[in-house]
Amino acid sequence: MPHSHLRIPSQFAAAALVLALSQPSTAAAQSTLTCDLSAYARRPDANARLSDGVLALEWAGTGGERVSLRLAVRGGAPTIDELALLAPATTNWVTVGEDLGFELRIVEGLRRISNQQLVPLRELNVALTQDVVDRYKWDVFWDAPLDLSAEVGGGNPPPAAGVANQPGFPRSPDEISRATATFRTTTCAVATDGRRVRVTFPGLTLGSFSGDLVLSVHEGTSLIRVEAVASTTRPSVAYKYDVGLTGLDSRAGGRVVWRDIASQLQSYSLRGPANTDPVALRAANRIVVAETRGGAIAAFPPPHTFFWAREVEINVGNNWYRKDDNDSFSFGVRQGEAEVVPQYRANWSLYSAPPGTEQHMAAYFLPTLGEHTRAFDAALAFTNGDVYRPLDGYQVMGSHYHTDMGRSLMETGSLDSRLSDFEVLRSAGINIAGPVDRPREQSQLEEQHWLFEGAKRHSDETFMVMPQMENSNLLGGHWDLLFSHPVYYVDGRQPGTPLVTQHAEYGRVYNIGSAAEMIAMIEAEDMMVFMPHPRTKGSTGYPDAIRQSPQFNADWYRGVGWRWGMGSDLSEVRLSDKRVIPLLDDMNNWITRSNLRPKGLLAITETYAKQPGDDIYANGPVTYLRIGDLSEPGNYAPIVDALGRGDYFVTSGEVLIPSVRYEGSGRDMRVIADVQWTFPLDFVEAVFGDGVNTTTRTLPATELAAFGRQTFTIPFDATGQAWVRFAAWDSAGNGAMTMPIRLGAP
């Protein structure tokens, strides 16, 4: 074998390596694995070979190390016969694991539609047939299929959320099932896709799901993606999953290492008794590292697709370990059972699994030589340490934070109080933070005043708090009002009261009693509107229902919010691939025969109070605005102008699009985009529409290495097309999108 701990004289190293590859271990010889390699093509630095029942993968890994992954079958289950690493300019392989197993667990519950979705549908006079319920239930936000508490609705959310009396209650324990994966296979299939090599083992059963276990490696990085690719035939499944490696050696220094939510290093040497259950870890950055046999393996989930939408970003424990006996241990990634904040217990929606959809339940394992430090650094590089990367000429904007800034400051009694929400956002690399307040009717003007003034006092030349206001009246559905400067208004206008009055302390105040009056204020004060959570929550049925309204067909109605997780579905290739992204294209097809600027997306989070240790990065996308330096506190016009021009892109953080341009015309049109990425890139695309149909021109990017930068050119026929946009997506489900531009037709 090539992974012996014996030192081999350099003059014999090459010959010994070839001989060893041809001599499988005794354990491997006992396996009966056969593989289909018809879709495999050898790469210069990545190869696969089947010999005596063992599939041997070897490829160039992180930092010049080489990785050897030998796969076999034990009792019908895929097994890592051996995982070994070779340091650059050395000949001695280090075996970090032998006879390792894959542990996958699932918890399934029953998906229900929420009353929050039913209310706007009733207001729109939509007949609530079973087909309608089955259509919208997959996009639910306020659902908690694992919550069997006595409260109606499965928890105690704020009454104003409109989620009490969720249909179909009470939940029953019979709705919840738990299972660990079983395998029945003796075969695999190996396929090459650019730098990626994928090994598929059929015969996986995971609860009501059946399908394959898939392992993917990528030339140039040591990253190993492990995923269940499976579907269910049950009609209303909501689920969560855990993934781990078992059989790691706990002797000779074996231990688990993680950083706690204060980023302090913690470790456990596995000297205590064996664990009955997995030990949940509230680990910073979603990373736990196993040290064993002179190497370290980092385990972490995909940074964004692993999370469904929540009201808070509190770390509930996304990693686990378990000491199985005196010689071995297991570790991996997990998803919690419930929200930790009681008032949000009804908001733990899990993933949706429409029948027949191919769900991808994934985790990453990254082996390195040496101690935990190298494994941490290598894993953190994929998310830039959970900080949105600075980009010359851009400011990073996060939006729709339910911090209740004005009310929170009022409760402190001082405008000069510092709120931890914004310290946390700033530390994540966000330069513009948009708190979205919903002032109480009895103190609306006062809360607005504390919001506007407090925002100024939290802002400086590198960080700006930009006030926003969420509304749920007049214009249809929920909608956010973005200010170019502070503007005071109240909902409700008494007969005889002018639209505009003067207030002794706050100056000009608008008194709004109708949609026309709201529109008049928006236009007079250079405001902007985005619908934060379209086609779900209190905007279920919107903006479709107002597509022909004066407000939607105004330039200041800029578009909708982009956030994944409201209806998380791991069959999606892109983040919010079924709800928001198709809507972006629909909206621009709706307006092609007008003179409106293209509609766009604004990255939002929909989360409440934040504290240090919260997982900000994983739970929200951001908007990169091309605006140069920040203006003086209180002047938000440059931000509003950039949003109006569509001079920005939205991203999960791992993929950036510093520039994009469009050249040519008609049949000779092309988009030229500069893209940066961390995880191996999957594809880039030009998306365009003619006012009725949307077309996507995709360019595969799997030939490219991780941590790259490249300029892509995608030619397309623009004849008869009205608009076009560009997007780039990586192999972990992360991505970025530019905003559409007009092409001049039809």
Residues 692 and 715 in one domain: yes
Tell me which residue has tokens 């249809």: 476
Smallest Cα–Cα separation from 738: which of 687, 682, 666? 687
Q: What is the CATH number of the domain that holds 73?
A: 2.70.98
Tens-place pLDDT, residues 424-468? 999 999 999 999 998 988 899 999 999 999 999 999 999 999 999
Do residues 74 and 131 both lie within one domain?
no
DSSP annotation of 388 reads: P
Structural domain ending residue among the three candidates 586, 619, 653? 653
Q: Which two tokens stand for residue 453?
A: 């003034």
pLDDT digits (tens, 9 = 90+) for 652-708: 999 999 999 999 999 999 999 999 999 999 999 999 999 999 999 999 999 999 999
Torsion, Cα 607 612 615 621, to 10 degrees, reads 60
Contact 301, 318 (CB under 8 A): yes
CA distances from 361 to 229, 564, 576 (A): 7, 16, 16
Q: Note down the domain range covering 283.
A: 10-106+179-386
pLDDT for 301 beyond 90: yes
Q: How far is CA 214 from CA 28, 140, 217, in A?
A: 20, 29, 10
In a domain, 2, yes or no: no
Pair 360, 449 in one domain: no
In this structure, are 239 and 130 located in the same domain?
A: no
- Shared domain for 169 and 185, answered yes or no, is no
Q: Are residues 89 and 140 in the same domain?
A: no
Write down the pLDDT at residue 593. Answer: 84
Nearest of 286, 227, 232, 225 to residue 258 by alpha carbon: 286
Strands 221-231 and 359-369: antiparallel
How would you classify the pairing of strands 500-503 and 507-512? antiparallel
* pLDDT at residue 198 is higher than 70: yes
188: pLDDT strictly greater than 90: yes
Residue 128 makes CB contacts below 8 A (sequence gap 6+) with: 118, 121, 122
- DSSP percent split of the chain into helix, strand, coil, nearest 5: 20, 35, 45
Query: For residues 66 and 90, is the Cβ–Cβ distance under 8 A?
Result: no
Model confidence over 246-268: pLDDT tens digits? 999 999 789 999 999 999 999 99
- The angle subtended at Cα 323 by Cα 367 and Cα 307, nearest 5°, is 60
Same domain, 361 and 409: no
Same domain for 272 and 158: no
Give the DSSP letter string of 671-700: EEEEEEESSPEEEEEEEEE-SS-EEEEEEE
Read off the CATH number of the domain in which 703 is found.
2.60.40.10
Instruction: Give the confidence band of 352 by pLDDT, cuts at 50, 70, 90.
Output: very high
Question: What is the average per-residue pLDDT within 634-638?
Answer: 96
Distance of CA 341 to the CA centre of its chain: 22
Q: Which parts of 111-180 are beta strand (E)?
A: 177-180
What was the pLDDT predicted at 550?
A: 95
In this structure, the answer to whether residues 596 and 705 fall within a common structural domain is: no
Predicted local distance difference test score (pLDDT) of residue 150: 55
The pLDDT score that the predictor gives to residue 15 is 33
pLDDT higher than threshold 70 for residue 151: no
Contact 456, 634 (CB under 8 A): yes
Q: What is the mean pLDDT of residues 509-513?
A: 96
Q: Which run of H or E residues covers position 26?
A: helix 26-29
For the whole model, what pTM was predicted? 0.93
For the segment 53-97, what is each residue's pLDDT rounded down to a tens digit?
Answer: 999 999 999 999 999 999 999 999 999 999 999 999 999 999 999
Picking from 616, 631, 653, the residue at the C-terminal end of a domain is 653
Q: Which residues pair with 507 in a beta bridge?
A: 503
Tell whether 464 and 588 lie within a shared domain. Answer: yes
> Does 150 lie in the same domain as 102?
no
Closest among 245, 370, 223 to 705, alpha carbons compared: 223
Residue at 1 is within a domain: no
Domain of residue 420, CATH code: 3.20.20
End position of a domain, from candidates 118, 149, 177: 177
348 class by beta-carbon count within 10 Å (0-12 exposed, 13-18 middle, 19+ buried): buried
CA dist 673 and 669 (Å) reads: 13
Total count of domains within the chain: 4
Q: How confident is the model at residue 31 (pLDDT cuts 50, 70, 90)?
A: low
Other CB atoms within 10 A of residue 71 CB: 25
Give pLDDT, residue 503. 96
Q: Quick check: 24 and 63 in contact, CB under 8 A?
A: no
Report the percent of the chain where pLDDT is more than 90.
88
pLDDT higher than 60, residue 309: yes
Q: Is residue 660 part of a domain?
A: yes
**Three-state secondary structure call for residue 383:** helix
Q: Read off the amino acid at residue 172.
A: S
Q: What is the dihedral of CA 423, 424, 430, 436, to 10 degrees?
A: -90
Instruction: Tell me: do 473 and 505 sit in the same domain.
Output: yes
